Amino acid sequence: MNISASKKSLSGEIVVPGSKSHTIRALILATMADGVSRIKNPLPSADCLSTAAAVPLIGAEIDLGLTEGVPGSEWIVHGAGKNIHLPSDIVDVGNSGTLLYFISAIVANFEGTSVITGDASIKKRPVNHVADALVQLGAESYTTRPGVNGCPLIVRGKIKPGTVRTSGEISSQYISGLMIAGILLDGTLNIELSNPKETPYLTMTQKWLEKAGVPVTISDDFKHIQVKGPVPIKAFDVTIPSDWEAVAFPLVAGIISDSEVVIKNIDGSGTQGDDAIVEILKSIGAEIDWNKENETITVRGGKKTRDGIGRLSTENLPGGELHVKISGFPDAICALAVAACFTEGTVVIEDAAVCRRKETDRLKVVTSELKKLGADIEEGEDFLKIFGHSPVLSDGSKNPDFKLHGGYVESYDDHRMAMSLAVLGLGLPDGERVIVKDAECCSVSFPHFYDVMNCLNADYKIVE
C-alpha cells in the first residue's frame, strides 16, 4: 500500500510496542530453558513471529495467545531444555537478520546439517562472516550458491569450545548469536573482536545471559568476550520493555511539527543503545522531557514549545556542527537523517558503514529518497552529511532557505525507511505531501504504526 503524509499538528498519548531485540532474545532463551516461560508485552511484529515460528523446529512449543488470529499480550513458551535438537526442517527466518544470525550459531551445536534461508532481502544479507566464525569452532558452513555471500546457508555441526577471531564490524548480531550458542558448549568460548560495532546490543545479550545464570564477561573495549558453558537454563517470566528503535519515530515527528506528544512505557534500563537519540536531539534544541520515574517522554515541537518557535539548530555545538557516531545504534540513522533535514546547520552521521548491511544499504537509500524531497545531503563511504535548514528563523518567521517539499518516495521494503519518510511528511509546508510506496513493511518492527500515529492526528491515508 501507499501512504500519504502531510503537515499536521500532533497531540495526545501513545504507547510504543515492546522491543524487538528483547522479544527475540526472550523467545530464544525460553526455547533453551527447561520449563514454561511467560513473555508479557512481546512485540507481535513480523520478525518476532518469524522467531516464534522457527523455535519449534528445535524443540520448543509456543502459545501466542491468538484471538481471531491476532497474537495476545502474553506468549507462553514450553522450553526444549536438554532436549533441544537439530532443526526438524529448513529454518526460514523471513526478513529477520537477528534470527538469521542467532539461529545459525545455535544449530551449530548439533550433529547433523541445518539449512537456513529467508526472504529476498535476507538472501542479500552477508553470511560468510558467520560461516567463518563457525568453521573456527569446528563446524562446516557454507552458502548454497557458489560466489554468493548470502542465504541459503548450510551449517553442519558440531562446534566445540575454543576461540573465534572475527572483526565484529559487519554486525553485532552474529556475535550475540555466538554468545547464546556458548550456553550449550561443554567448555569456554572466547570471542576476540578486532573492530566491534553495535556494542549496546552486546551488552543487552550479556545482561540476558547473566539473568539466566550464564557466566559471561565482556572487556571494556568489547574486544574480548568469554562465555562459559554448559549452563542449564530455568524457565522465566519477563515483561518486554518498550522498543527505543520505535520510539524514535514519534519522537522525531513531535519535534519537526507543531506538536505535543506523550510517549508512555519508556524503557529507562539503559539496555537499548537507541535511547542515545534523546540527548542527541536535545543538543540541537529539541524540547524533550523524560520522566524516568513515570516512564514517560513528553516531546514538544514548533509552536507548542515553551518559546513558541521550536527552532532546531547546531549553532551552539562545537564548530557549529552536530557529529553523531552511529555505529552503536545504527537503526536510528533513518529517523536522525529526517530530523537533520529540519535542523539549521550541518549534521554529520559518521562511523556508519554498518548501516549499509541492514534491510537495505541505508546510506544509499536515505540519500536517494531525501534528495527527491529537496534535502541537501552528501553520502560518503561511512558517513552522511546533511546540510539542513529549520523551517523558521530565530524570530519565528519563515525561513526562505528551507526547501523541503513533497513527492513520491520508495520504502525499498525497509520498515525504518517507510516510517521515517512518513514522519518527514508531517513537517512539510502547507500544501505539500509525501507519498511513501510499499509502506506496509513497517509491520516488521512496528505493527499498526500508521493507526497508532493517527491517534495523534497524523492523518496518514492510504492512496493509489
Catalytic positions, written as ranges: 331
Other residues' Cβ atoms within 10 Å of the Cβ of residue 294? 11
Decide: 112 and 157 in contact? Cβ < 8 Å: yes
Selection from 85, 156, 150, 146 nearest residue 118 by Cα: 150
Say how far apart CA 97 and CA 120 lie, in whole Å.
12
How far, in Å, are 123, 353, 416 from residue 359 at the CA level?
10, 13, 9
Cα end-to-end span (Å), the chain? 8
Side chain identity at 394, as an amino acid letter? Answer: S
SS3 227: strand
Selection from 45, 106, 57, 103 nearest residue 245 by Cα: 45
Decide: 35 and 79 in contact? Cβ < 8 Å: yes
Helix axes 199-211, 173-181, angle to 10 degrees: 20
